[in-house]
């Protein structure tokens, strides 16, 4: 048995799960998420738990067992508590501001980068004196949130020599020493 797949998913109060023809809809206080599921994977709701099971021990079934259990668990956690990611911008003159659903980034290029957020994602940019600007992203959809964070990070990845760029809060960037002075 898959160690992840055999764990039941607890359904918190206020969250409803609807299963129709290999299509799962999870509704909660933070929103509604939908996911299609392989027809071989069986889903059963018992009390306040969702159980995921597979028909046999073929390689494909074992792989999908843990995958769909993790996806469904992320959906339940997302609609009940939500997901939050914080990114930090390191560099002199690098700034971020948010106007509604539009994130405006000044990252040392000759132009300003405007990024429109999907309606499922809330964005907030904070700048405090003598601190690096912070971008806070919140959403019920973990996959979408990760994809948007990766896109924002791709505008200016942290570089190893000065550590400038966009990084996650708490992320450690491996630093390299630059050129040493020429020996005379």
Residues 6+ apart with CB under 8 A from 129: none
When pLDDT is cut at 50, 70 and 90, the band that residue 2 belongs to is low
The model's pTM is 0.88
**Domain extents in the chain:** 9-80, 83-168
Average pLDDT over the chain, rounded to whole?
91
Burial class (CB in 10 A: 0-12, 13-18, 19+), 136: middle
Position 121 scores a pLDDT of: 94
CATH number of the structural domain 83-168: 3.90.930.12
Instruction: Give the pair of three-digit tokens for residue 15.
Output: 């969250």
pLDDT value at residue 4: 84
> pLDDT-based confidence at 182, cuts 50/70/90?
low
Please determine, for residue 178, whether its predicted confidence score (pLDDT) is greater than 90: no
Q: Which CATH superfamily is domain 9-80 in?
A: Ribosomal protein L6 (3.90.930.12)
């Amino acid at each position: 048995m898959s160690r992840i797949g055999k764990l039941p998913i607890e359904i918190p109060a206020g969250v409803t799960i609807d299963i129709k023809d290999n299509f799962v809809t999870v509704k909660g206080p933070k929103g509604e998420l939908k996911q299609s599921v392989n027809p071989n994977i069986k889903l059963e709701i018992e009390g306040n738990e969702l159980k995921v099971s597979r028909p046999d021990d073929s390689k494909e079934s074992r792989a999908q067992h843990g995958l769909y259990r993790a996806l469904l668990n992320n959906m339940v956690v997302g609609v009940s508590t939500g997901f939050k990611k914080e990114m930090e911008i390191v560099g002199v003159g690098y700034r971020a501001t948010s106007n509604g659903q539009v994130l405006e980034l000044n990252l040392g290029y000759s132009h300003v980068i405007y990024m429109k957020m999907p309606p499922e994602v809330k964005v907030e940019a904070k700048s405090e004196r003598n601190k690096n600007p912070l971008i806070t992203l919140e959403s019920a959809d973990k996959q979408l949130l990760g994809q948007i964070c990766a896109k924002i990070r791709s505008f200016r990845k942290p570089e190893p020599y000065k550590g400038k760029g966009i990084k996650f809060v708490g992320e450690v960037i491996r630093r390299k020493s630059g050129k040493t002075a020429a020996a005379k």
